[in-house]
Structure 1
């Protein structure tokens, strides 16, 4: 029941906002019934690789120019993951299937888990956190403007009755596959959580909870400036400084 419910088309319609803009020369990842049009910048074959899961309403093309080069300056390769139904990818953005795609995306980096860093921004945090639950040997996890309570976010845009289930059934389905608390607690690697204090879309308490739940070495950076969608742009020096310091801890 859980997989079918998370793949309900109403969740896809209400919660995900894909655009068709694709990266110029996709790095294709085969994931079940979907082909995912990703971008892979790999200037450091022996270095750490960052796998970036973007936010809702964004596509890999938004992150394929500039961001990978900044990561390269920090000694990182960068795989910009694309979701099914987004950008040049095939299929539809169904939540359960998107979670199933995470393992394929991580394996596509062709890097040992202990040399990987997962980065999840906004809704991308669901997939980054899921990734470290699948591969607990991953070296690091970075969360920006991230979601702690998935059920809360779903209930903002739909009701259980619209899905044909009770509130208890929806809560159970979300808890079974999207229990952010238990996934964070069981991950032993390094975690960096960044959030804007004035985030008007995903309240700062989400970042605070994710940090509190993290089971390994962790750092929380709350930025006084910025909102959900411009945190990086208005805090570039400090933002990338936090990432650089985080990477230095892993080396």
Structure 2
């Protein structure tokens, strides 16, 4: 399911960091409550600034099937002010470097080696911080806006999706008898 953040595309509202976090959480709840899709069937895909909300929800929801970070930020402040050595933690929007270690789902990082907006070192560092990492795609010669044109992009993404589609949710791995009441699929009504 794709969506627009508040204040972007067809969405109304104000584009703020808090609203982007609320938006991605609402999308997961919609998938769960309206469409009956449990988190263990959901793969988040965050590109560029979208990696912030994806890292946030990935760190909050342990049963996601996976997380894809496409040209991700290491930190919002580091992209805006790359030469600043110190800033207060509260000032950092999208602190992916602190969220990535908390993501339990498998994480695929894809980044162009010639990214002129977010340096590839951000993607490489995020991958190092993830406890459950997939084989990354470092797309040689590609930048920030053309990664999808890399011949390895689609096969890498498809292989990741196939792998995480066969994975058991974290909760079932720990205790096969436990059932999460929070994520039960709604019963279909009989006609």
TM-score range, shorter chain: 0.7 to 0.9
Superposition pairs of residues 115-134 of structure 1, within 5 angstroms: 115-134=41-60
1:155 pairs with one of 81, 85, 106: 81
Residue 225 of structure 1 deviates from its aligned partner by 2.5
1:140 pairs with one of 66, 72, 83: 66
| Structure 2 stretches lacking a partner, 5+ long | 167-191
Aligned mates of 1:182, 1:155 — CA distance in 2: 18
Q: Provide the residue aligned with 1:58 in structure 2.
A: none
Aligned mates of 1:153, 1:122 — CA distance in 2: 10
2:89 pairs with one of 172, 175, 181: 172
Residue 202 of structure 1 deviates from its aligned partner by 0.5
Aligned mates of 2:10, 2:94 — CA distance in 1: 26
Bigger fraction of residues in strand: 1
Residue 101 of structure 1 deviates from its aligned partner by 2.2
Q: Provide the residue aligned with 2:17 in structure 1.
A: 95
Task: Provide the aligned C-alpha RMSD in A.
Answer: 1.9
Query: Could you tell me the TM-score, scaled by structure 2's length?
Result: 0.76
Q: Deviations over 1:128-168 (max 9, x none)?
A: 11111121210101111111121112336xx9xxxxxxx75
1:221 pairs with one of 134, 137, 145: 137
1:114 pairs with one of 40, 49, 57: 40
2:109 is paired with a residue of what secondary structure? strand
CA contact (8 A) 1:136 1:187 kept: yes
1:187 pairs with one of 99, 103, 112: 103
